[in-house]
A and B are shown apart, each in its own frame.
Chain A
Amino acid sequence: MITVENLTKRYAAKTAIDGMTFQVEKGEILGFLGPNGAGKTTTMRIITGFMPATDGSVRVDGFDVFDNPLDVRRRIGYLPENPPLYLEMNVTAYLRFVAKIKGVPKERLESEVSRVMERVSIADVKERIIAKLSKGYKQRVGLAQALLNDPPVLILDEPTIGLDPKQIHEVRQLIKDLAGSHTVVLSTHILPEVEQTCHRVIIIDRGKIVAVDTPSNLRFQLQGAQRISLEVQGPAFEIMSKLKGVPGVVEVRKLEEIDGRHRFQVEGELRKDIRSDLAHVVVQSGWGLYELQSATMSLEDIFLKLTTAEEAGKPESN
């Protein structure tokens, strides 16, 4: 549905996006994950045709963003980072205006406006002035605007920002319901959001794709880098050196000491199970093994690992 090839956006001083290539299948929910300033918003703005790319191409449903901008824009519903609201208007008047410029036929205008209001449950504020609404309602009015004329592609820049937990849940559910019939690209820096809603994740950092996969695969990939916590009774220093001697162990950290028992965190190599080896060493040395627990890395850890690994490779970065 969306094909992005070698997308590059350069400003005078810096490169915001550097040769990004990816595809989004029809009916898929794709999550853009990255720290602030990674290029999420810029990528979305290029896909929606708000700004042109310096290099590379974007095709939506077969139409090139640069050559057929109107064909592309007709197929996209876009919620920018700051919902584009005319604060002095009331909700209905605003949605009517957006419906008109999105080309909703006159006879369907009213029904379409009420449809999207129902969809994001803002019908109760339809006569209110937008400026007087709470942040959560404003965000949902922005979302309603994106849904007008039922575009097959939705580009949502941080759709749940500013919402309370209940509303966040509702919006995520809404996005999930839209999948299948709609292609959704959303950006976020909230990790659980990606895990809960997206079929696929693209992690970007400084304008480059660092990883692309399903949330569960991403976790699996890095799960190899096992993190195991141990609680052992015995001489701390000796335990440390013994544990370090176990083949496959990358790092051992001493955490705390409770009643003569020490807690260690051991990080192992990729895809190598070192748990039984660790247990063996401890028991053989005659120390007391109180606990051995493998901690799965959360997407958060993976994200940090990926983005910081990138940083290590690029020492001269401002």
Chain B
Amino acid sequence: MRNILAIVERELRAYFSSPIAYVVLTIFVFLSGIFFRSILAQVMQMALMSQMQAQQLGPRPMDMPGMVSRGFLSTMSVILLFIMPMLTMGLFSEEKKRGTIELLLTAPITDLEVVLGKFFAAGAFYAILLVSTWIPMGVLYLYGSPASAPILTAYLGLLLYGLAIVAIGLFISTLTENQIISAVLSFGTIMVLWLVDVVAQNAEAPASKEVLTYFSILSHLDDFMKGVLSTSHIIFYLSLMMLALFLTYRSIDSLRWRA
């Protein structure tokens, strides 16, 4: 455990002693502000329209804060998709390039500890990104009173989703010495997992449609966003994460043989 913590600490230090942490955080906070504002404007317009309709058709209840938070967090999930490869691209590729992998793999620690240390470090940075979305979310709480349950499940969903993506990026960073290639490959893989959704919509056979939808990394977030906790979605993200971590572990092992 102490070894894992030592690696987590070093990775977090590395994030914050290079510009990457600040660039990623700044861009993310900036984008989340812009999207929050535009979603808020959209919802306000919808509210105005429904008020006008209400005069003719009678009043209809509308959960404005809920709509804003749902719209906002769904948009954030897509933005995170683009940002995550930047957090994971260097995790192993830099160690390989600089030769520090030789230090880690000859120190009296297990490969699993190395893998988990890096995973938790990137996961912790991801958590920081999630926390930063509380700047606009705080505004929502300040001026409205959204129902907390769906927001909590949405964050749980985002956390699981993010950790699965971190694990995928971690695995891909073991495959190359080049950070850029690592980032592009991670990005491509995540895009494929995202876009199977689109393919699924056009699929003709219902069975293939169902299978493809299952593999879409974003489709599993919907229920979390609506406030529904379903074990099948939790299991999807956890198993994707475990699979990627297992592949990372194996990849490190094969690195030794090929080195």
Contacts and interface: CB of A to CB of B under 8 A. Distances in A.
Contact of A101 (B17, B18, B109): B109
Contact of A51 (B98, B109, B256): B256
Most buried by B among A78, A86, A97: A86
B250 interface: no
Given A88-B18, A100-B2, A50 B107 contact: no
B2 A98 contact: no
Interface majority SS (helix, strand, loop, mixed), chain B: helix
Nearest to B106: A48
A49 B106 contact: yes
A252 interface: no
Given A73-B108, A88-B17, A100-B2, A51 B99 contact: no
Given A51-B259, A52-B257, A101 B104 contact: yes
Interface stretch (B5-13, B128-136, B167-175): B5-13
Nearest to B5: A100
B218 to A, nearest CB: 34
A166 B13 CA distance: 35
A100 B104 CA distance: 12
A129 B227 CA distance: 48
Interface majority SS (helix, strand, loop, mixed), chain A: loop
A270 interface: no
B259 A45 contact: yes
B103 interface: yes
Interface string B91-109: 0000000111111111111
A52 B103 CA distance: 16
B98 A84 contact: yes
Contacts of A103: 3, 108
Contacts, number: 74
A50 B108 contact: no
Given A78-B106, A101-B109, A102-B108, A86 B100 contact: yes
Contact of A84 (B2, B10, B18, B99): B99
B106 to A, nearest CB: 5
A76 interface: yes
Given A86-B10, A97-B6, A100-B3, A51 B107 contact: no
A70 B2 CA distance: 15
A234 interface: no
Contacts of B259: 45, 50-51
A85 interface: yes
Nearest to B259: A51
Interface in B98-142: 98-110
B118 to A, nearest CB: 13
Contact of A145 (B13, B99, B103, B108): B103
A74 B103 contact: no
A174 interface: no
Contacts of A81: 99
A97 B102 CA distance: 15
A80 interface: yes
A262 B18 CA distance: 68
Contacts of B101: 84
A89 interface: yes
B66 to A, nearest CB: 44
A93 interface: yes
A101 B107 contact: yes
Interface in A95-135: 97-98, 100-103
Chain A to chain B: the 10 pairs with minimum beta-carbon distance, closest first: A84-B103, A100-B6, A84-B100, A74-B108, A82-B99, A73-B108, A101-B107, A48-B106, A80-B102, A51-B259
Given A50-B105, A85-B98, A85-B100, 15 more contacts: A49-B106, A50-B102, A52-B256, A70-B110, A78-B103, A80-B103, A84-B101, A84-B102, A88-B14, A88-B18, A89-B10, A89-B14, A98-B107, A101-B107, A103-B3
Interface of A: 45, 48-52, 70, 73-74, 76, 78, 80-89, 93, 97-98, 100-103, 145
